[in-house]
Amino acid sequence: MANSTLQTDVVIIGGGGAGIPAAIEADKAGAKAIVLEAAAECGGTAAISGGGCCIVGTPLQKSQGIEDTPDLAFEDWVKWGGGAADEIWARFYLEHTLHDLYHWAETCGAKWVDMKFQEGNRVLRWHRPDNNGLGLMTALIKNAQALPNVTIMTSTKAGKLLTQDGRVCGVTATRNGETLEIRSKVVLVATGGFNSNLDMVLEHRPEFKKFKVMEGSGFGAKGEGHQMVKELGGYFTHMDCIWFYVYATPDYRDPQQRRGLVFRQVPGYIWFNQQGKRFHNESVTGGASATPALLRQNPPHAWALADTPMLAKIDVADPYYRRGDVIDRSKVEELLNNSPFIKKADSLEELGRKTGVEDINNFLAEVEDYNKCFDAGLEKEPRFGKSLKTSKKFDTPPYYAIQIFPLARKNFGGVKTDLHCRVLNKYFEPIPGLYAAGEVAGMAGGHINGKAGLEGTMLGPSIFSGRVAGAWAANEAGFGTGFIGNPNRPELD
C-alpha cells in the first residue's frame, strides 16, 4: 500500500540526457509531467559526459569551411555501424540535428564552442558545448525547472510500472523511505544504460567473464528501466553491442573494484602488454580500434607508460576527481600514489620489474626505440604510426605505469521503439502507454548506432529521442501535435 498517490499526465523516469528534454517537450504541449530522478540531482550520465554531439551542417562547421550534409554523415554512420545501425532512426536523427539539437539547445541557453575529430567521420562534426556535458545539462535542467507544468522529484527511485486494462498507467516509487504511486496517462522510461551494472554487462557479453572488465557509466546506469520494461514484454535488441574503452584503470577506492576510471589528456603515453611489447598506435583510442587491439593481448590488459611531465594534465572522468569542471590535482596525486594498479619508479628498469612483465628486455627495447625517434627528428614513430607532435622522450622520472583494462561505457542496444518512441513488444506492436528514449533504448529506437559509434552519437540521439518521446507521450495523453521537427533541408527553409 503506497503512502501517497500522485496524479499527472506524463511520468518521466530519469532526469538525464533524455528525460529532461522530454519534460520540456511535454510542457510545451501543455501536458503536466512529473520527472522521477533517483539521484539527489538531475543530470545523469549526460552531466558527467564530454557533452560532444554529432551534428551536421552547423554554423560552427561553416565558420571553418567544412561542408557537411545529412547524406555524407549518413554514409559515415552506416559504414561505421558495421551494418547494424537502425538506418531509419539514424536518418531521422541526422536530418534533424541542425535545428532540433544545435539551435534548440542554444535556445535553452547552451553554447557550442568547438569541434574535435573522431574516428570514422570524414569531416569534423563532434560539437562540444561550453563546459562539456555539465554545461549543456545545466542549461536544460534550468529550463525544465522553470516550467509551470513540470515537477521534478529528485532522490525518488522508480520501481514497478503499473498497468490497467492492458495499458501502462503509472509507476511505483520510493522517496525518503516512503512508497509512492504516481498515476498517469502515459509513462516514459529514460533511465539510461546498464554499464554500471557489471552483472548485466557480463550477461550480455559472457565471453568477458574470464577477464577483468570494469563498470564505467554514470552511477545511475544500472539497467533498472530495462527491468521495468522487460517485465511488460518490451522487445530488446543489440544488447551485446556495448562500447568498451581501454584507457581506464580500476577505481581502487571501490571496495569491490568493479568500477573503472577513464583517464585522458596523456597523449605522450605508450602502452605495452604483459610480454613488454607495444601493440597499437596509442593515439587512436576509439572503441572500434584500441579495444579490439587490447582484447587480442594475452592477458587482455596493458600498462600505459608515462613520465612525470606527461601526467601534468591528466584528467580523470569521475566526479571524485573534480571540483565542478576543474580537475582536483590533489585527488589525482592521491590516485597516482595509492592505487595498486599504478606503479611508480625512478628508473625504467625498476618500473618494468614492478609491472611484472614477462620480458623486461622487450619493454626496455620498446622505450629505447621510441626515444630514438625523437633523436632522429621523426614526425611519426614507424612501428604503429603514432604522431610524435604531442609526445616527448621518456626521460623525466619518476616514471609511471598505469594498468588498463576494458571498461564498459555505452550501450548501443536497448528496447526497440518506433519513430514516436513507443515501446514495441516482440510482435513489433506498441505496448499501450509506454515510451522509451535515450540509452535504455540504445540511445534511440533500439540500436541507432549499430556495432560502433562515430562519437557524439550517444548524447545527441539521447537528447533528440527524449524530445521526440516527450512530444508524442504528451500527444497520447491528449496534448499537442506530437513531435514536429525542422529537418536540415535548405530548400525547405
Ligand X SMILES: Cc1cc2nc3c(=O)[nH]c(=O)nc-3n(C[C@H](O)[C@H](O)[C@H](O)COP(=O)(O)OP(=O)(O)OC[C@H]3O[C@@H](n4cnc5c(N)ncnc54)[C@H](O)[C@@H]3O)c2cc1C
Q: Contact residues for ligand X (CB under 6 A)?
A: 13-19, 36-39, 44-46, 48-52, 157-158, 190-192, 217-218, 220-221, 224-225, 317, 409-410, 438-440, 456-460, 462
Q: Considering beta carbons, is residue 189 or 351 the nearer one to ligand X?
A: 189
Residue type, 301: H
What number of other Cβ atoms are within 10 A of residue 392's Cβ? 14
CA dist list (Å): 56 to 62, 67, 240: 10, 9, 28
CA–CA distance, 46 with 52 (Å, rounded to integer): 10
Nearest distance, CB of residue 140 and ligand X, angstroms: 11
CA–CA distance, 159 with 369 (Å, rounded to integer): 57
Q: Considering beta carbons, is residue 367 or 434 the nearer one to ligand X?
A: 434
Nearest distance, CB of residue 426 and ligand X, angstroms: 23
Nearest distance, CB of residue 93 and ligand X, angstroms: 11
Nearest distance, CB of residue 137 and ligand X, angstroms: 8
In angstroms, what is the C-alpha Rg of the chain?
23
CA–CA distance, 158 with 37 (Å, rounded to integer): 8
Q: Considering beta carbons, is residue 43 or 70 the nearer one to ligand X?
A: 43
C-alpha cell at 259: 568500477
Q: Considering beta carbons, is residue 51 or 234 the nearer one to ligand X?
A: 51
Phi, psi dihedrals of residue 4, rounded to the nearest 5°: -150, 155
Nearest distance, CB of residue 346 and ligand X, angstroms: 33
What number of other Cβ atoms are within 10 A of residue 185's Cβ? 22
By three-state DSSP, how is residue 224 classified? helix
Which residue number is nearest to ligand X in terms of Cβ?
16
Nearest distance, CB of residue 363 and ligand X, angstroms: 30
Where do we find the cell 556535458?
133
Q: Look at the alpha carbons of 350, 351, 353, 358 in this order and tell me if their dihedral is positive or negative.
A: negative
Q: Considering beta carbons, is residue 18 or 335 the nearer one to ligand X?
A: 18
Polymer length in residues for the chain: 493
Q: Considering beta carbons, is residue 191 or 355 the nearer one to ligand X?
A: 191
Nearest distance, CB of residue 193 and ligand X, angstroms: 6
Nearest distance, CB of residue 245 and ligand X, angstroms: 9
CA dist list (Å): 206 to 21, 73, 138, 429, 450: 35, 33, 37, 30, 19
Q: Considering beta carbons, is residue 31 or 415 the nearer one to ligand X?
A: 415
Q: Considering beta carbons, is residue 220 or 446 the nearer one to ligand X?
A: 220
Listed residue (19, 23, 119, 158) closest to 436, CA to CA: 19
CA–CA distance, 29 with 483 (Å, rounded to integer): 10
